[in-house]
Amino acid sequence: MLDASPQARLYSSTGALYGCDGGRRTRLGALSATRLAPATRISLFALAGRYAAIDSAQMGIDTFDSTVSIYDLASGRRVGTAPGTTPEDRAESFITVAALAVNRNGVLAWIGRRSAIGVPQPTYELHILSAGKNTLLATSTAKLAGLQLTLTAVSWADAGGVRHSAHL
């Protein structure tokens, strides 16, 4: 078992991540790539209540992309998905998710990082996915960290360690 809540659990079997709410088993994706490129694997996951959140990393040749998704394990259905950051319109782009959190109401928060060859600094973004709507809350060329999510608010720290928050 990789994670558990009172309503559900996440576990791995034969190289894949699964979610279970007790009566239903949902395959969420592969935990490791089975080939070099192109390949997809789950790089981050989180669980709260009956909701599982994942970051699916797509590895290509000279590219890296991430997509976040949230699943309702009671129904086994994906209830939301969004790109890891806003698009990087340059060749050899790299989009990753540095942190993600989900709450028991099915709200997903994450910090994405995007960069590309020829871009002097990466860009960090804080997003919220709620009821299928992706909202960008913060963007910075300095690192965002310390992501925390409750039922009513999201908080994070900027590069100077100053905490910020927003109500959901």
138 vs 59, higher pLDDT: 138
d(CA 31, CA 87): 25
The number of distinct structural domains making up the chain is: 1
d(CA 84, CA 122): 14
Q: Which domain holds residue 116?
A: 3-167
8 A C-beta contact, residue 65 and residue 92: no
d(CA 64, CA 43): 12
The pTM (predicted TM-score) of the whole model is 0.93
pLDDT tens-place string over residues 144-168: 999 999 999 999 999 999 999 999 9
pLDDT at 86: 94
pLDDT tens-place string over residues 1-46: 899 999 999 999 999 999 999 889 999 999 986 666 678 899 999 9
Half-sphere exposure of 137 (CA within 13 A, CB side): 24
pLDDT tens-place string over residues 122-132: 999 999 999 88
Tell me which residue of 96, 106, 108 sits closest to 137, measured CA to CA.
Answer: 108
Which amino acid does the sequence have at 120? P
pLDDT at 67: 97
pLDDT at 35: 63
For residues 97-124, average pLDDT:
95
8 A C-beta contact, residue 76 and residue 24: yes
Which amino acid does the sequence have at 156? W
pLDDT at 36: 64
Helices (H), 13-82: none
pLDDT at 123: 96
